[in-house]
């Protein structure tokens, strides 16, 4: 089996597949650390094909899809969004989502997607990447720390009618290697 993914930008034709993939990946990620109803509500709101079309067409976003042997294996979305005050680095860009399908985790695809995120950040002239992460998602936190992200503060995250304070991480965008 091929182990190096093909990574490309999503088009509106990818929206339905990405919505289904994103819903599954989100559910798999939080199944053991969040309430089932909260997950279902979030998925119903955010992982609809029409929502995905809007994100894919939003010039403030870039949606990257990773394919392995013609199968969608993961995706990442970066977004131009005003960061919380704790992000003080220059030219910030949010890493909004980075998710692999359950069967693709732990094979280096997350690293490949992160490198594509770095390239897109450089293309957009961004110099700081930032993100919010649920602190119980320890695998994701360890992944981000491997890429040099450091905790800089926290931000409110509305999930299931409850406000959580998610840690915020940031890192300078690495230069071209
Ligand atoms: C976060 C996420 C994208 C990171 O991807 P990942 O596959 O776990 O991370 P990497 O790509 O760096 O792979 C790392 C592992 O693959 C192994 N690996 C195997 N082949 C590899 C290769 N060719 N290159 C690099 N690592 C490789 C590494 O040794 C490492 O194993 P270890 O964790 O036991 O040390 C992934 O865990 C994921 O999708 N999680 C669920 C969604 C999620 O939580 N998203 C973040 C929300 S905030």
Q: What is the pLDDT of residues 81-128, one digit of tens each?
A: 999 999 999 999 999 999 999 999 999 999 999 999 999 999 999 999
Q: What is the pLDDT of residue 164?
A: 86
- More confident call, 123 vs 166: 123
Contacts of 138 (CB under 8 A, 6+ apart): none
Q: What is the pLDDT of residue 3?
A: 65
Asked if residue 17 belongs to a domain, the reply is yes
* CATH, residue 135: 3.40.630.30
Q: Nearest-CA neighbor of 29 among 108, 116, 133? A: 133
Counting ligand 1 atoms within 8 A of each CB, the residue from 27, 72, 108 with the most, and so the one to mutate, is 108
Asked if residue 177 belongs to a domain, the reply is no
Name the residue at shortest CA distance from atom 26 of ligand 1: 108
- More confident call, 157 vs 128: 128
Measured distance CA(74)–CA(98) in Å, rounded = 7
Asked if residue 101 belongs to a domain, the reply is yes
Q: How far is the CA of 161 from the centre of ligand 1 (A)?
A: 30
User: What are the CA-CA distances from residue 72 to residues 79, 102, 104 (Å)?
Assistant: 21, 11, 10
Name the residue at shortest CA distance from atom 32 of ligand 1: 106
Range(s) of the domain holding residue 123: 6-172
What tokens does 78 get? 């970066």
Asked if residue 1 belongs to a domain, the reply is no
User: What are the CA-CA distances from residue 96 to residues 69, 71, 175 (Å)?
Assistant: 26, 22, 21
Counting ligand 1 atoms within 8 A of each CB, the residue from 47, 107, 118 with the most, and so the one to mutate, is 107
What tokens does 115 get? 């490198």
Q: What is the pLDDT of residue 11?
A: 98
Q: How confident is the model at residue 159 (pLDDT cuts 50, 70, 90)?
A: confident
Measured distance CA(104)–CA(101) in Å, rounded = 5
If one counts the domains in the chain, the total is: 1
Name the residue at shortest CA distance from atom 21 of ligand 1: 108
Ligand 1 pocket at CB < 6 A: 29, 98-100, 105-111, 133, 137, 139-140, 143
Q: What's the pTM?
A: 0.94
Q: What is the pLDDT of residue 2?
A: 54
- Given a contact cutoff of 8 angstroms between Cβ atoms, the answer to whether 62 and 7 are in contact is no
Q: What is the pLDDT of residues 136-154, one digit of tens each?
A: 999 999 999 999 999 999 9
3-state SS assignment for residue 128: strand
């Amino acid at each position: 089996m091929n182990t190096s993914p093909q990574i490309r930008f999503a088009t509106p034709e990818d929206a339905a597949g990405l919505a289904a993939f994103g819903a599954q990946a989100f559910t798999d990620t939080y199944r053991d650390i969040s309430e089932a109803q909260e997950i279902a509500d979030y998925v119903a709101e955010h992982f609809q094909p029409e929502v995905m079309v809007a994100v894919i067409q939003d010039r403030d976003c870039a949606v990257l899809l990773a394919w392995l042997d013609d199968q969608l294996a993961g995706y990442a979305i970066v977004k131009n969004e005003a960061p919380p005050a704790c992000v003080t680095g220059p030219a910030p860009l949010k890493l909004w989502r980075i998710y692999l399908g359950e069967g693709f985790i732990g094979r280096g695809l997350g690293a490949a997607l992160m490198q594509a995120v770095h390239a897109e950040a450089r293309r957009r002239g961004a110099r700081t990447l930032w993100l919010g992460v649920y602190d119980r998602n320890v695998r994701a936190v360890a992944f981000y720390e491997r890429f040099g992200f450091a905790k800089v503060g926290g931000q409110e995250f509305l999930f299931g009618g409850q406000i959580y304070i998610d840690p915020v991480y940031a890192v300078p965008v690495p230069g071209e290697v």
